[in-house]
Chain A
């Protein structure tokens, strides 16, 4: 099986238990123009990685390792990701 190209999209977010002052400040700003329906704002990061590997499973393993070792800090952050093959 030849090499394929995959795209991982990783979302890193602050854990629920952690106060997000940045999200709070943005929430205040949204309220200032009457979007009172917005109840809470949390801010995180999106990271995209292109991977050269042969299977979806391998792409998942690599992404998981990258998240665990560097992209997210388990003390304060959660992560989730999706992977798709690109041509």
Chain B
């Protein structure tokens, strides 16, 4: 795999993706990275080092969120790419697609309130030793937007225990002061889970939107270090 000083980012565009351009903007214009779009019908990753599965409503969220995207030609290539250790970041609908594809364990259920929630929340960095969080402080609290109807993370007890034991829970919904409480949980997610990583450490899925908190003009920039962390590992 290509390991130059600058990684090449590829953002997958599914019919119904709507955060693809936000990710592109942050990577290209703010972080000055090499980035291109990849169409869902492409069957090859080519020379991309980091795949981003953006937020949105791929295939109209038909059947289940992310269920149909999983069978698109590009996802076959993404699954192969993962096997070779390629880095994959799934945001919101991208997280749902990663779970449906089996690249991450568990599933995202309907929010407990049944409502689509569009809001700023606080999340705590639970593990800052990953390829996606290495520039954050341990237990740092980030203010970051969420926008989802199905963000209620669920997995069976043994999977949750394994995620906890192996420190694969990367972000948890919390209060501003960092305490993880029921009140700070926007969607009913098990153990306040907002983002997880796979065991190998190359696939991260998260419901909050770091790309919507990366530009000074929006006054929130807590998401930027996530992208910078990935860039950092290629240096």
Contacts and interface: CB of A to CB of B under 8 A. Distances in A.
B114 interface: yes
B114 A19 contact: no
Interface in A44-74: 70-71, 73
B154 A22 contact: no
A76 B190 CA distance: 13
A35 interface: no
29 contacts: A18-B109, A18-B154, A19-B112, A19-B188, A21-B110, A21-B111, A21-B112, A21-B113, A21-B114, A22-B110, A22-B114, A25-B114, A70-B63, A70-B67, A70-B68, A70-B71, A71-B63, A73-B64, A73-B67, A73-B100, A73-B107, A75-B99, A75-B105, A75-B106, A75-B154, A75-B155, A75-B156, A76-B109, A76-B154
Interface of B: 63-64, 67-68, 71, 99-100, 105-107, 109-114, 154-156, 188
A73 B105 CA distance: 12
Contacts of B110: 21-22
Contact of A75 (B68, B107, B112, B188): B107
Contacts of B107: 73, 75-76
Given A75-B107, A75-B154, 19 more contacts: A18-B109, A18-B154, A19-B188, A21-B110, A21-B111, A21-B112, A21-B113, A25-B114, A70-B68, A70-B71, A71-B63, A73-B64, A73-B67, A73-B100, A73-B107, A75-B105, A75-B155, A75-B156, A76-B154
Contacts of A22: 110, 114
Nearest to B110: A21
Interface size class of A (residues with CB under 8 A): 10 to 19
Contacts of A75: 99, 105-107, 154-156
B205 to A, nearest CB: 14
Query: A21, A22, A73, A75: which has the most chain B beta carbons within 10 Å?
Result: A75
Contacts of B68: 70
A13 to B, nearest CB: 13
A19 B114 CA distance: 12
Interface string A5-28: 000000000000011011001000
Which 9 A-B residue pairings sit nearest by Cβ, starting from the closest? Answer: A75-B107, A76-B107, A21-B114, A21-B112, A73-B107, A73-B64, A75-B106, A76-B154, A76-B109
A18 B190 CA distance: 11
Contacts of B67: 70, 73
Contacts of B71: 70
Contacts of A76: 107, 109, 154
B113 to A, nearest CB: 7
Query: B63, B111, B112, B188: which has the most chain A beta carbons within 10 Å?
Result: B63
Contacts of B64: 73
